[in-house]
Amino acid sequence: MHTQVCIIGAGPSGLLLSQLLHLQGIDCIVLERRSPEYVLSRIRAGLLERVTVDLMHKAEAGDRMDREGLIHEGVGIAFGDQRIRIDFSHLAGGQLTVYGQTEVTKDLMDARQAMGGRLVYEAEDAAVHDVGTDKPRVTYRKDGRTHEIDCEFIAGCDGYHGVSRASVPASAIKTFEREYPFGWMGLMSETPPVDDELIYANHERGFALCSMRSLTRSRYYVQCPLTDKVEEWSDDRFWDEIRRRLPREFAEAMVTGPSIEKSIAALRSFVAEPMRFGRMFLVGDAAHIVPPTGAKGLNLAASDVHYLSEALIDHYKNKDSHGLDTYSERALARVWKSVRFSWWMTNLLHRFDDGDFNRRIQQADLEYLASSDAAKASMAENYIGLPV
């Protein structure tokens, strides 16, 4: 089997890249080790930057997003007896769209199917070969048989635990990582959001976040120890805890109900450099992870897709390899800015067991943010997404 670009991973980044290439007449195949149902069952983020929204339109997969997505022009931060509103439109001239990552994935799946895209689900034991040559290959097993794909480029869109980055010799890659000493206990419910905009809370009991997926579906989080288990968090315990961490007006307005999903997520910052190895390119979580505090994970993957799709299109349409040669440098420049912002947001809003000095620094940072338009503008600019 032959293709121009073999894409490993059928999450949003792999599907988005395949759709953009297909629309430009570039042949590609997507391999995914899981079933479509499993891919759609994964609960992920729901805040889309302008770059992601624009790419969904460019991929001809944005109609439902336009109809059902919620436009957000600000976000709130509560601490002590204060509440700060970061006005995106006024401070940074932009906005965000609330639309779940699961919905993004479904729309891209439907678009690929409608256009006859080549997707292989339940492709087991994928392996990359000869990426340092001009004839890379990908092998996988399906229905008990081994298959081989000859290709010209490989896009590793297969996440943090995928085969793409793991295939790179340790001597050829450098990783940077910070693990945070707490997790997020998340609950999804079929209840109306507590507010029209997201509310972040810094409280002596720990961080809390009130988010949403639609006007009738809410997503809430509380900081918890990494040793906690989901089964230890009954719905009643979760609702009681998050209300304790919110200002009274939100705690009293909160509509509670049975959970439809609960999970605990560990938080980490991770970057792998470079993002190109011969004819293989890393995309999204295969190359970088950010804590969800700044809502950057999906959007960073989309910006990687922006750089790589443009580079591949330029290579095939104009015989220009400059975009491919500079992909890693360009992508990492934006990645590190988003890693910094996510790290800053995480340090600003969570409780760390690291003494009174750092707590005083955190308090000063929050008070400075509350009092300075320049600080609010900097946060707004980063939150809505830096230019690509």
Question: CA–CA separation, 129 vs 197, rounded Å?
Answer: 47
pLDDT the model gives residue 169: 95
For 24-72, how does the pLDDT look when each residue is reduced to its tens digit (9 = 90+)?
999 999 999 999 999 998 777 789 999 999 999 999 999 999 999 999 9
Helix (H) or strand (E) holding 202: strand 199-202
- DSSP SS3 for 163: helix
Strand partners, 220: 187, 210
Question: CA–CA separation, 372 vs 245, rounded Å?
Answer: 25
The answer to the question of residue 371 being in a domain is no
The answer to the question of residue 324 being in a domain is yes
The answer to the question of residue 213 being in a domain is no
Q: Copy the structure tokens of residue 270.
A: 């991770």
The answer to the question of residue 25 being in a domain is yes
The total domain count for the chain is 1
The answer to the question of residue 319 being in a domain is yes
Q: Copy the structure tokens of residue 147.
A: 């298959």
pTM for this entry: 0.95
- For 181, residues 6+ apart whose C-beta sits below 8 A from its C-beta are 226, 352, 353
What is the domain range of residue 36?
5-51+99-177+268-345
Question: CA–CA separation, 155 vs 14, rounded Å?
Answer: 8
Indicate whether 114 pLDDT > 90.
Answer: yes
For 159-188, how does the pLDDT look when each residue is reduced to its tens digit (9 = 90+)?
999 999 999 999 999 999 999 999 999 999
CATH code of residue 297 = 3.50.50.60
The residues assigned a catalytic role are 72, 200, 292, 296, 383
